[in-house]
Amino acid sequence: MSLVSQLWSISPQIAAVGSCCLVGVICNGTLYIANLGDSRAVLGRLVKATGEVLAMQLSTEHNASIESIRQELYSMHPDDSNIVVLKHNVWRVKGIIQISRCIGDVYLKKAEFNREPLYAKFRVPQPFKRPILSSEPSILVHQLQPQDQFIIFASDGLWEHFSNQEAVDIVQNNPRAGIARRMVKTALKAAAKKREMRYSDLNKIDRGVRRHFHDDITVIVVFLDSNLMSRASTVKFPGISVRGGGVSIPHNTLAPFTTTTDNGGT
């Protein structure tokens, strides 16, 4: 909000820039997941009796296509029966945006940014008093168990192509190293197939134009080692292994096994 205030006079369109955000923190054996928008965290949990690893969803997308999200919007905006609108078979908040919470998009949070020189195509026609979109994350608290094997954090670009269980199966059935990159590649192959294209041809399309073929796909896989976690206070940890796709990350500075396709969107 303060950044947009500073830049409003020189770069007003920044008021219509936003992003989702998904954060995971592990502290003393407890996992905290904070979510804002349409990314999703999924846990892979071992069922000892059968040896299967089952998917357990740890967050809910703030997407107006979900009934409970629409109910939440109606209850937060009791005086606005048009807070969500079904247009061309898609539910959108104020007929504009599919997500109900995010970082940014401040023109939908403070009326003072919902005016010229912001392009008319972005503006909400009616004045509003209360923020239309929220910046409050949903927070889930999960006590980690020894059976908890790994957590997949991914943007909706991945979940568009895989169910939770399909994603868990990919992580479970492949080598750890490079697993996030493998998932992005598998998702891109699925995107290409839906377009009846070859993966190699999809890959040749420029970043900006790629947006029309598939959404951004960001994946982080965190492997949990219950032995290491329980001894964390007494043992020295091995270094974090980082494999980034498309970006170079200095060693030991970021989460393990991160990869992303940045095709120029938010």
Number of H helices, E strands in the chain: 8, 12
How far is residue 222's CA from residue 178's CA, in Å, rounded to a whole number? 12
CB of 231 to ligand NAG, least distance (A): 40
CB of 12 to ligand NAG, least distance (A): 24
Q: Pick the closer one to ligand NAG by CB: 65 or 138.
A: 65
CB of 76 to ligand NAG, least distance (A): 19
Q: Pick the closer one to ligand NAG by CB: 31 or 152.
A: 152
CB of 80 to ligand NAG, least distance (A): 21
Asked if 22 touches ligand NAG (CB under 6 A), the answer is: no
Q: Which residue has the tokens 């980034």?
A: 244
Q: Which of 19, 34, 45, 65 touches ligand NAG (CB under 6 A)? A: 65
Q: Give the closest residue to 10 by CA, choosing from 89, 140, 117.
A: 117
Q: Pick the closer one to ligand NAG by CB: 159 or 257.
A: 159
Q: Pick the closer one to ligand NAG by CB: 14 or 69.
A: 69
The string of DSSP codes covering 24-79 is EEEETTEEEEEEESS-EEEEEEE-TTT--EEEEE-----BTTSHHHHHHHHHH-TT
CB of 66 to ligand NAG, least distance (A): 7
Q: Give the closest residue to 57 by CA, choosing from 138, 134, 136.
A: 138
CB of 155 to ligand NAG, least distance (A): 9
What distances in angstroms separate CA 186 from CA 90, 179, 182, one per listed residue? 27, 10, 6
CB of 85 to ligand NAG, least distance (A): 14
Q: Pick the closer one to ligand NAG by CB: 167 or 179.
A: 167
Residue 159 and residue 40 in contact, taking contact as beta carbons nearer than 8 Å: yes
CB of 158 to ligand NAG, least distance (A): 11
**Helix ranges, the chain (H):** 2-7, 67-76, 156-159, 164-172, 179-194, 199-204, 207-210, 226-230
Q: By Cβ distance, which residue is nearest to ligand NAG? A: 38
Q: Which of 38, 105, 148, 216 touches ligand NAG (CB under 6 A)? A: 38
DSSP state of 92: E
Residue 36 and residue 101 in contact, taking contact as beta carbons nearer than 8 Å: yes
Q: Pick the closer one to ligand NAG by CB: 98 or 114.
A: 98
Q: Which of 99, 151, 188, 219 touches ligand NAG (CB under 6 A)? A: 99
Asked if 98 touches ligand NAG (CB under 6 A), the answer is: yes
Asked if 156 touches ligand NAG (CB under 6 A), the answer is: yes
Q: How many residues bind ligand NAG (CB under 6 A)?
A: 6
Q: Which of 35, 63, 100, 114 touches ligand NAG (CB under 6 A)? A: 63
How far is residue 208's CA from residue 210's CA, in Å, rounded to a whole number? 6
Three-state SS for 103?
Answer: strand
Q: What share of the chain is helix, strand, coil (3-state, %, to 5)?
A: 25, 25, 50
Residues that bind ligand NAG (CB under 6 A): 38, 63, 65, 98-99, 156
